[in-house]
Structure 1
Amino acid sequence: MVEYDGFRRFAASLNPYFKMISRTTARNDCISAFNEQKSVLKEMFKGATCRFSLTADMWTSNQTMGYMCVTCHFIDVDWKIHKRIIKFFRVKTPHTGFEMFNTMLSCIQDWNIADKIFSVTLDNASANDAMVALLKCNLKTKNAIPSRGKLLHNRCAAHVINLIAKDGLKVVDSIVSNIRETVKYIDGSQSRKQKFEEIVAQQGITCQKHPNIDVRTRWNSTYLMLEASFPFMSAFESLAGQDKNYKYAPSINEWERASIVCRILKVLYEATLVVSGSLYPTSNLYFHEMWKIKMILERERSNSDNEVAAMVKKMKEKFDKYWLKSYKYLCIPVIFDPRFKFKFVEFCLGQAFGKGAKDRIEKVRKRLNLLFKDYSDDSNTNSNLQAHHVMAIPENDPLADWVYHITEELNDQIDTELDVYLKEKPIHEFGRDFDILNWWKANYSKYPTLAHIARDVLAWPASMVASVSESSI
């Protein structure tokens, strides 16, 4: 651009004394600025007391070249959420788990954060599973990750919801086909649009948001099309009477079935918006959104309409597959939400698994205790307060064994920081104004070790996607 004659003449007309730089100078200045900011960020990472959660997404360009974008998420000492793209690079083909592992490890080593990784959020590609398995093995040998890596791999919430919705819509395509064809017909020409506008005015419909044709590969666009179509039901019916070429008017039965589909998709759509936010913690919200999906699928699976029931069945099969894989790590952030804690997890898992809930709950408890132990061992603060109850006595004293035995009994009776937190009643602030980060900031002195865990757990992003609509949540 800077060497284009037209641009040079334009710049000279604005300021004849300005000396235009060359493209090489522009490139070098950009790279210099990049390296300078990278050094600043490296220093910040080096001095950080928190752990980092990564998201990584693969995409293919028009030239069929594969690229990976790695984003680092963390919460600073002032309890503010941050995310930084730390790597954008081409991945050599074939995109195997081993090749992706090498590129991810190279990125982690370049930023010197191998000992500060908390989690990695990825979609459900098989190569990602292989990559995380290799990464976990590498970090475990260095004792660089908490909970022995059991919380390292998190599956992208938006991607899981996307898979659930797509499986369901494959079954009920016939239910929405007439609505889709109606929207397509109206948008087919300007004269049809004008005619439809006249009918809308005649019917006294005040809704300004007209439906747009959906993209079949994007289930959320199908939901938005359905939702926007319902206010115009009478207009579609009137159009059928005035336009002989229009043959797609949905029947009353089709509208009723479409409303059920829309009701189910609405829960999935709203869940996607919530878990895709980047201005607030999402890890503690993921469980609740999945629970809402679980509830509506349970409610609708016995629907009298066979096609709707078949849709729900397919969606529930996909939901159950990922629910069983992910419930153990979905529960952990909820426990660090002072409004719910462990009792809430016990209650929900009891409903979800019935007689088999006891073992499931125990698995979550073990992961929680292991996480707390790892942070307690690393912390300068002795969270379990045992230091105050150690009786000083020489090792060669005949009573040394007895004193050690008594000390152990005393320590077993002492509540840990985690015990104290879980025994306290949950707080009752369930509005959208509740600021979980501010709560932990205010209670840092009371729960120093738990606050460190909460800061890292809440920095974990539930989804790789940052929703453009998150400000409306």
Structure 2
Amino acid sequence: MDGDVSSDLMEGVENKEQSVPINIDADEQPTPQNHIPSENGSDKHQNAEIHVGEEEIVMKRKRKKTSKAWDGFTVVALSNGTKKSQCNHCKTKLTYGDSRTTSTLKRHLLICKPHKDYEEKQNLLNFPHIRSDGDTGHEKLPSLIRPDAKLQKRVLSFVHVPPPRTGLDIADGIYKCLKHWEIEDKIFTISVDNVAYNDMALRRLKEFFSKVRKLTCGGRLFHVRCCAHILNLLVKDGLAMIDSVIGEVREGIKYINNSEARLQTFSNIAHQLQIQDRKLLLDVPTRWNSTYDMLLVALKFKDVFPRFAEYEPHFHHLPNDEEWAHVESVCEILKQLIFRYAQNVIFGSDYPTSNLYLIEVFRVKETLDKGTLSKNDFIRTMVTKMKEKFDKYWGECHLVMAIASVLDPRFKMKLVEFSFPTIYSNAEKNIEEVKKALYEMYEEYLEIHDASVREAATPANGCGGNEVSKTTSLGSGWEAFGEFIKNTDLERPEKSELDMYLEEDIAGLNLLQGRLTFEF
């Protein structure tokens, strides 16, 4: 191929009398990495060896280093002829070995401070682009806003509230912090756990903030119940139904793991029963997700435990068949409630997910509704308790969650109209409440925008042309014209931007392997 010289070019030529053409386009010839022009204008390649015989040409060139780790290093030769890999940033010299071995180089770059500073500066110079790619377009859009596209989660303050603490004490502590940071007039919402004294704290904070400025939508968006905490309560209600079995499984795993010999015996029995898993998981009692994982693994070994008891007469932690059936039922319900995508959406904190909450709450409610119709008495009893907890905290319209989904151009009002009949008994009333809050919020922001336009249109003292200021003082019509311009600029069209946004078709929505993407 023209312009392509491979490393094995013309090796192994068996017929010396055969002529082998080499076509290299001068305009397209790739420049080797170590290309050095000679003084007489001809070119030499440091890494190329050329042997010329009577009728044979053999060209060999060293293979180019492909690892990115070599971008930060240069091979240097010491006075004694030894080769070293020198860091381009801190000039540290490392042992030079096989070019395919770069582990040492990569480890050095991880701890090299000049390299980290260099990478940070390069990120500041990064100019990302937008591709019209259906699978990655949604990932490119936020990169225009910030390079890392991640939420910044910081602990701003630890406030000591001595016991006995009340909601008023907590409200005072929070407000003092916000006032110290001078952001008491910039708070939009506060999310808290469902603890009794938090309700009193939020009522007091709402009073404080209302005196500083008008709260959005009359304060209806101010107090947001933590969705992750509510889901935690639902899951704990389910696990409480098998609390005694969980204790038996936990103690049994502790007994087995406390001895290497017992663990080996258990593993051998599992191997005999052709169970691929070999290791039991022990949970953290205060974390329900680890308890759920422990039960899932224990279910795989439910036939191993009774056989293990035959070898260990002191092992008495053996749930019966009915208890194992209850464990299996609970795990199946929890699997539907908290499968991985829901965990990433509701419990994730690395990127904004509030626009995706509504569909997850819909799926939780749908699962609970189906569970209440189960023919299994145990499942029906368990799910009924969980549904009561759902209705207690999510029975009223969750405005923040709904508005966040409406502001996603892939959903707009369609997701609200789809999910509300399942989540709420009075869907039509709640849908109208969302629309009302949405337009109320729009009008409030529009009022702020209009005020800023008026302020910008008002000339400052001493500004403006002298001729105009003189003529306006004489009543020549400029003052009236200025009022006309301000009024016409602030005239609103018959349809607001919100109306047009809601009437437009939703953006392309593609559901690929449980992940929402844009289609352009």
Pairwise TM-score range, normalised by the shorter structure: 0.5 to 0.7
Where structure 1 has 5 or more consecutive residues not aligned to the other structure, the ranges are 1-74, 384-393, 395-403, 443-473
Aligned amino acid, residue 341 of structure 1: K
Tell me the TM-score normalised to structure 2 length.
0.58
Q: What does the per-residue CA deviation read over 1:132-171, in whole Å, with 9 as the maximum and x for residues that have no partner?
A: 1111122223324322221111112221112222223223
CA contact (8 A) 1:97 1:129 kept: yes
* In 1, Cα distance between equivalents of 2:449 and 2:516: 28
For residue 295 of structure 1, give the secondary structure of its aligned residue in structure 2. Answer: helix
Counterpart of 1:274 in structure 2 is 345
Pairs aligned (count): 338
Which of 81, 85, 89 does residue 155 from structure 2 map onto? 85
1:3-51 Cα shifts (integer Å, max 9, x gaps): xxxxxxxxxxxxxxxxxxxxxxxxxxxxxxxxxxxxxxxxxxxxxxxxx
Closer/same/farther in 2, CA of residues 299 and 180 from structure 1, 3 Å limit? farther
| Cα RMSD after superposing both structures | 3.3
Q: CA deviation at 1:343?
A: 1.8
Cα distance, 1:208 vs structure 2: 4.9
Mapping of residues 209-224 of structure 1, within 5 Å = 209-213=279-283, 215=285, 217-224=286-293
Partner of 1:469: none
Q: Residue 368 in 1 paired to residue 449 in 2?
A: no
Q: How does 1:51-450 map to 2 (within 5 A)?
A: 78=145, 80=149, 81-174=151-244, 176=246, 178-213=248-283, 215=285, 217-266=286-335, 267-268=337-338, 270=340, 271-325=342-396, 327-354=398-425, 356-379=426-449, 414-426=494-506, 427-431=508-512
* In 2: Cα distance, 1:103 partner to 1:380 partner: 36
**How many angstroms does 1:226 deviate by?**
1.0
| Paired position in structure 2 for 1:21 | none
Note the 1:12-51 alignment, pairs <5 A: none
1:210–1:229 contact (8 Å) kept in structure 2:
yes
**Against the structure 1 CA distance between its residues 134 and 119, is the aligned structure 2 distance closer, same or farther, given a 3 Å change threshold?**
same
- Secondary structure of 1:87 counterpart: coil
Give the distance between the partners of 1:289 and 1:93, measured in 2 at CA: 38
| Alpha-carbon distance, 1:411 to partner | 5.7
Cα offset for 1:76? 11
Residues 283-328 of structure 1: per-residue CA shift (max 9 Å, x gap)? 1222222222212111112333323222111111111101124523
1:380 and 1:279 map into 2 onto residues whose CA distance is 35
- Quickly say closer, same or farther: Cα 1:135–1:76, change in 2 above 3 A: farther
277 and 265 in structure 1: CA distance in 2 versus 1, 3 angstrom threshold: same
CA deviation profile, 1:334-382 (whole Å, cap 9, x unmatched) = 111222111210221123335x221111111111111111112212699
| SS of equivalent to 2:224 | strand
Which is higher, the Rg of structure 1 or of structure 2? 2
- Which moves more between the two structures, 117-126 or 219-228? 219-228
CA contact (8 A) 2:359 2:415 kept: no
Higher relative contact order (CA 8 A, sep 6+): 1
Alpha-carbon separation, structure 2, partners of 1:95 and 1:338 = 44
Q: Secondary structure at the match of 1:121?
A: strand
Q: Secondary structure at the match of 1:115?
A: coil
**Equivalents in 2 of 1:92, 1:242: separation in Å?**
54
Specify the code of the residue in structure 2 equivalent to 1:324. Answer: G
Find the aligned partners of 1:101 and 1:312 in 2 and give their Cα distance: 36
Amino acid in the other structure paired with 1:417: E
Deviation at 1:173, TM superposition (A): 2.5
Q: Rate the CA distance shift 1:76–1:178 in 2: closer, same or farther, 3 A.
A: same
- Unaligned segments of structure 2, at least 5 residues: 1-141, 454-476, 478-486
Seen in structure 2, the aligned counterparts of structure 1 residues 180 and 327 have a Cα distance that, compared at 3 Å, is same
1:429 aligned counterpart, secondary structure: strand
How far is 1:127 from its partner? 1.7
User: Percentage identity across aligned positions?
Assistant: 35
Q: Quick one: structure 1 residues 209 and 423, their matched pair in 2 at CA, closer, same or farther if it must change by over 3 Å?
A: farther
1:284 touches 1:334 (CA, 8 Å); kept in 2?
yes
Judging changes above 3 Å, is the alpha-carbon distance between structure 1 residues 83 and 240 closer, same or farther for their aligned structure 2 residues? closer
Q: Which string of whole-angstrom CA distances, capped at 9 and with x for unpartnered residues, describes residues 216-257 of structure 1?
A: x43223211111223323433543555444444444444333
The TM-score, its normalising length taken from structure 1, stands at: 0.64
The alpha-carbon deviation at position 181 of structure 1 amounts to 4.6
The separation in 2 between residues aligned to 1:255 and 1:102, in whole angstroms, is 50
Contact 1:376–1:382, Cα closer than 8 Å, also in 2? no
CA distance, structure 1, for counterparts of residue 244 and residue 159 of structure 2: 42
Worse-matched range after superposition: 172-181 or 291-300:
172-181
Residue 429 of structure 1 and its aligned partner are, at CA, apart by 3.1
CA contact (8 A) 1:335 1:341 kept: yes
